Amino acid sequence: MDFKVIDGITPELNRLASQLGDSRAIVAACGKRLEIELRAHFAALDKKPNSMGWPKRHFWNRQVRSQIALSQITSTTATVTISSPALVHRIQGGTIRPKRGKTLAIPANAEAYKMGSPREANVDQLDYIPLHQGNLVGALIRRFQSIIKRTKNGSTGKMIGGDVMYWLVRSVTTKPHPEDLPSDEKLSGAVMETARDVVARKLRIR
Amino acid sequence: MSIPLWIEIERAERSYEFRLNTLSALAPTWSATSPVPASWGKPVALWLIAMEHAANTMSTDAEFILFMETHLARLPDLINDMDHDALASVLENGMAAAVVSSVRSVLSKSHDLKPLAISFDYGPLQEAVGKMDRKSPVAVALTSAQWEKVPVQIRERSQFSARVESARFLQHIQDETRSSLAWEKEKVTPSDRAAGGEAFIDRSSFIASARKVAIEEGINTTTPNNYGTVRDIRSAKRLGLIWDMQTGNATEYARWKTSNDADVLDAFPAQRLVRIEERMVPRPSWYWPTRWAEAYFNVGGIGAVERDMVALKTSLIWTKLSRFGTPWPPFDYGSGMGLEDVDRDEAESLGLIGPSERLTPNEDPGFNAGFEMSVAGLESKLVNWLISAMGDTVSLVDGVLKWISK
């Protein structure tokens, strides 16, 4: 994915740096501010409830926000790295096909979503039901079990299971979501605010 | 007659090339600071000044390129305005090459364009990958309580897991987490159960593969009544925790490294302990404030605020707060607490730092060559393992373990 320069701030940064005569101090502070802004943006996304109303797995925090760090500072450039292949896919969209299995497992309810993939959950009480309807290959359903309770008045029993836990599909295609990134205006505004603060403070204490 | 000329302009780390197949671009005496020459080259000199002005002032790259294209289209008119006789005489004297060289030199050097650029990219955090590379598997079956007593310098160099003495399993943890941090893809061989291809290693695939290795190695870390819990090395809970701790520690270390840069510290000298993730079963509300108060007391309050859970990044309170002795998160197992940067103005208003004070960055607690420590009090099996596992990177002389390199 492309290297993304925060647009439109270079001339103003140059002007501030020439006032100060120390570009590294400005660049380092601006890079840090960019890291802060990006992390805050994804932290805010993480606070939104799950779209299905299921328990959150904190995708935005664990796979994006926590993977962001200011990674390089020179006298003229600062780079913040987002180490998240999952975000790249989210922004660009595309089709995912299985590699480690023959199908992809899509959680069908909150319990399955919380457990993660069937491989991760290691649940052995699931049965495979073939469906073969286009992209939909089948389903993993909870195995039927009889639960018998003994009471003073005798025994009562009930049957549980049969509910679909995962849908198994050949591929999943997701739309691009460029709107999940913060806007250039927001980022450049914050970065320039920090640049001006640094210059003002440095000039004040001279 | 036509002399090809390339004008290169650097802006925001990008180089723009404009090819001019015309004599009109020759302005031998012009520079950004010198007066515009009142010679045959004046129209072109003015034209070049406008280009330089655009490179320095246009607010967006798109705007800049559009301007340049429009500006280049005006060249034919400029040619008509030139004193061609004067120019021809210059050329006849064999000055063309020198002139071209002069213009190019002026544009590439004399302008002293050093554009500053703030950017973000997508890829591995090299500091996090490097941190994993510096670890060695330490297959000694200590409990987590015993490991906590081991100095942080050793723990930071060691790949370990409580009650696990399988080097293969620990190596697997290290390889998988390192590959994930490095964005390396795993090759999956096609079979009757797998479509095959290249796939990123993620938390889910790690749990499945680590469980397989643990079973193959016959590792059992607990009793049957605790199977499936965090005490069970084959459980999703335990393996997920290992993944979260390993990757979290490495990426937070990478962030800590640049947060400790002297210029970054100057602008953002402090940080605040905040809740990053809610928990289904949270610790009591008094837990972290109490822990903070204890750490505050331990460091004599130096560089910290007692109640607000804010402190200078260089304060020792962070290592005292952490269960693991590192100044970066995670500060405890399964913790939803993390850090938020505090800028200079707020740090000054909290009395943490004076207006002209400059902080000295902290030393890296884990990987300093030359680090020495006494092995008195350490489990002998751990000392023996460290010496054999770390090979020629450590030496043990008179009860003192010394790191030679790495």
DSSP secondary structure, A119-167, as one string: HHHT---EEEEEEEETTEEEEEEEPPEEEEEEETTEEEEEEE---EEEE
What is the nearest CA distance from B53 to chain A, expressed in angstroms? 10
Token pair, residue B374, equals: 């006494």
Most A-contacting residue of B15, B65, B116 (CB-CB within 10 A), to test interface = B116
Q: How many whole angstroms separate alpha carbon B256 and alpha carbon B250?
A: 10
Cross-chain Cβ contact B119/A77 below 8 Å: yes
- A38 chain-B contacts, CB cut-off 8 A: 120
- A186 chain-B contacts, CB cut-off 8 A: none
Q: How many whole angstroms separate alpha carbon B67 and alpha carbon B159?
A: 57
Q: How many whole angstroms separate alpha carbon B110 and alpha carbon B116?
A: 17
- pLDDT of B86 reads 65
- A71 chain-B contacts, CB cut-off 8 A: 125-127, 254, 258
* DSSP code of residue B282: P
Specify which residues A105 forms β-bridges with: A168
Pairing mode, if any, of strands B158-159 and B136-137?
A: parallel
Cβ–Cβ contact B199 with A under 8 A:
yes
Most B-contacting residue of A100, A104, A196 (CB-CB within 10 A), to test interface = A100
**Which residues, 6 or more positions from A21, have their beta carbon under 8 angstroms from its beta carbon?**
none
For chain B, the helix, strand and coil percentages under 3-state DSSP, each to the nearest 5: 45, 15, 40
Token pair, residue B384, equals: 């023996």
What is the four-CA torsion angle of A101, A106, A112, A118, rounded to 10 degrees?
0
Token pair, residue B328, equals: 């970066």
Q: How far apart are the first and last CA of chain B?
A: 64
Residue entry with tokens 């030679």: B404
**Which residues, 6 or more positions from B91, have their beta carbon under 8 angstroms from its beta carbon?**
B1, B23
Cross-chain Cβ contact B125/A71 below 8 Å: yes
Nearest to B207 by CA among A118, A105, A107: A118
- B199 chain-A contacts, CB cut-off 8 A: 99-100
- pLDDT of A92 reads 93
Average pLDDT of each block of 10 consecutive residues along chain B (406 residues)?
47 52 38 47 71 72 72 72 64 52 48 67 94 87 83 84 90 96 95 93 93 94 89 92 95 96 97 91 90 97 95 97 94 93 97 95 72 78 75 79 68
Longest dimension (CA), chain B: 100
Q: State which residue of chain A sits closest to B125, comparing Cα positions.
A: A83
**Which residues, 6 or more positions from A128, have their beta carbon under 8 angstroms from its beta carbon?**
A138, A139, A140, A168
Cross-chain Cβ contact A34/B118 below 8 Å: yes
- pLDDT of B381 reads 78
- pLDDT of B374 reads 81
- DSSP E strands in chain A: the ranges are 4-5, 68-73, 77-82, 94-96, 104-107, 126-133, 136-142, 145-151, 154-160, 164-169, 172-174
- A73 chain-B contacts, CB cut-off 8 A: 258, 261, 263-264
Q: How many whole angstroms separate alpha carbon B395 and alpha carbon B372?
A: 9
Cβ–Cβ contact B289 with A under 8 A:
no
- pLDDT of A204 reads 85
Predicted TM-score (pTM) of this structure:
0.77
- pLDDT of B60 reads 67
Task: Tell me which residues of chain B, numbers 217 to 276, contact chain A at a CB-CB cutoff of 8 Å.
Answer: 236, 240, 244, 248, 251-252, 254-255, 258-259, 261, 263-264, 266-268, 276
Q: How many whole angstroms separate alpha carbon B397 and alpha carbon B180?
A: 38
Q: How many whole angstroms separate alpha carbon B151 and alpha carbon A164?
A: 50
For chain A, the helix, strand and coil percentages under 3-state DSSP, each to the nearest 5: 45, 30, 30
For residue B10, how far is the Cα from the chain centroid?
A: 26
Most A-contacting residue of B16, B120, B268, B278 (CB-CB within 10 A), to test interface = B120
Cross-chain Cβ contact B124/A81 below 8 Å: yes
Task: Tell me which residues of chain B, numbers 364 to 393, contact chain A at a CB-CB cutoff of 8 Å.
Answer: none
Task: Tell me which residues of chain B, numbers 341 to 360, contact chain A at a CB-CB cutoff of 8 Å.
Answer: 341, 343-345, 355-356
What is the nearest CA distance from A180 to chain B, expressed in angstroms? 15
Cβ–Cβ contact B89 with A under 8 A:
no
Residue entry with tokens 């990478």: B254
- The stretches in chain A having pLDDT less than 70 are 1-3, 7-8, 122
Q: Among partner residues A9, A58, A66, which is closest to B251 by beta-carbon distance?
A: A66
Q: State which residue of chain A sits closest to B113, comparing Cα positions.
A: A14
